[in-house]
Structure 1
Amino acid sequence: MRRSERKRRDPDLGVLSSRLLFAVQEELFDTLAQQGHAQLRPQHGAVLAYLDPDGSRAVDLALRSGQHKQVVGKLIDELEALGYLERHPDPADRRAKLVVPTARGLDQMSRSDAILAAIDQRYAEALGPDRYAEFKRTLAEVTERQRAWRAGPGER
């Protein structure tokens, strides 16, 4: 059997997780575009999905998202130019900046939360709430174990 045929019939964890990610991102960003946020791209989620409404430091966004600081910095620049966030001095540390969502950013965050809640609800109804909750717990555990393995023996 050819590799592509095997992956289609019995997809591995990487294929399954990427299919899920891309399908959720496609629905999320298509719906956001219909709701007035057409400039956003899935890459922007590395910042927006982890941004606190009262602001976050760029270094924290990088840690939460698993992205390099340079990537997060570029995304922050893009989102600032699009009017989704601003940089403000961090009151807890004058040397640091807080990345703070604007009204447009808060609107996007609220809409994203609602869209993702609807996706969750749809799958809870399709699979049953207990089965879907178990799926999410298992997926979270697999994700954390993979992150710990990637971090090295001291983190496992």
Structure 2
Amino acid sequence: MRRSEQKRNDPDLGVLTARLLFAVQQQLAESHARTKPRHGAVLAYLDEQGNRATELAELSGQHKQVIGTLVDELEALGLVRREPDPADRRAKLVVPTAKGLAQMRHSDEAMARIEQHLAEAIGQADYQSFKRTLHHLAALAAPTASPEP
């Protein structure tokens, strides 16, 4: 059996989670004309009062440089702005604008509709069980901090 055929017939966890991720991203992207799926690395984790870019990088699993580029793009779209962090004036917070807050609410609503659709398709109990299991697997698969030498 060819490898591509095997992946199609019996996909591994990476392939399955990627398919799910890309399908969800595509559905979210269809409801947002100006943003791209990659912008979710910032918008999905952004608090109303703002976050430091380093925190967004940690939460999303992206490199700080990637987050910096995404923040630049979102700033150009008028969805976020950079402000001094009141706790440390040398640091900057990424803060959503009013337009950004509206976009975030719209994304949350779209994600709720996607989750509701999936829950209805397989049943609420199975969907909740799936989410718990996926959450557990993600925690188990996450890289652990290496001990100091």
Please confirm whether the aligned pair reaches a TM-score higher than 0.5, indicating the same fold: yes
Matches within 5 A, 1:133-148: 133-147=128-142
Give 1:152 deviation, angstroms. Answer: 5.1
Q: Which runs of 5+ in 2 are unaligned?
A: none
- Secondary structure at the counterpart of residue 151 of structure 1: coil
Deviation at 1:126, TM superposition (A): 1.4
Letter matched to residue 128 of structure 2: A
Match of 1:35 in 2: none
Q: Identify the residue that residue 10 of structure 1 maps to in structure 2.
A: 10
TM-score (normalizing by structure 1): 0.91
Partner of 2:34: 39
Match for residue 151 of structure 1 among 139, 144, 147: 144
Asked whether 1:84 is paired with 2:79, we answer yes
| More divergent stretch after superposition (66-75 vs 119-128) | 119-128
Give the match's secondary structure for 1:97: strand
Aligned residues: 147
Q: What letter matches 2:101 in structure 1?
A: L
Give the Cα–Cα distance (whole angstroms) in 1 for the partners of residues 146 and 94 of structure 2. 33
Matched ranges for 1:1-150 at <5 A: 1-32=1-32, 38-147=33-142, 150=143
After superposition, the CA RMSD in angstroms is: 1.0
C-alpha distance in 2, partners of 1:58/1:47?
Answer: 9
CA distance in 2, matches of 1:152, 1:93: 27
Deviations along 1:11-60, whole A, 9 cap, x unmatched? Answer: 0011100000000000001012xxxxx12111111111110011011000
TM-score (norm 2): 0.95
**Over residues 60-106 of structure 1, what are the superposed CA-to-partner deviations in whole Å (9 max), with x where a residue is unaligned?**
00000000001101111111011000001111111111100001110
Unaligned runs of 5+ in 1: 33-37
- Where in structure 1 do 4 or more consecutive aligned residues deviate above 4 Å? none
Letter of the 1:51 counterpart = L
Question: Percent same amino acid at aligned positions?
Answer: 61
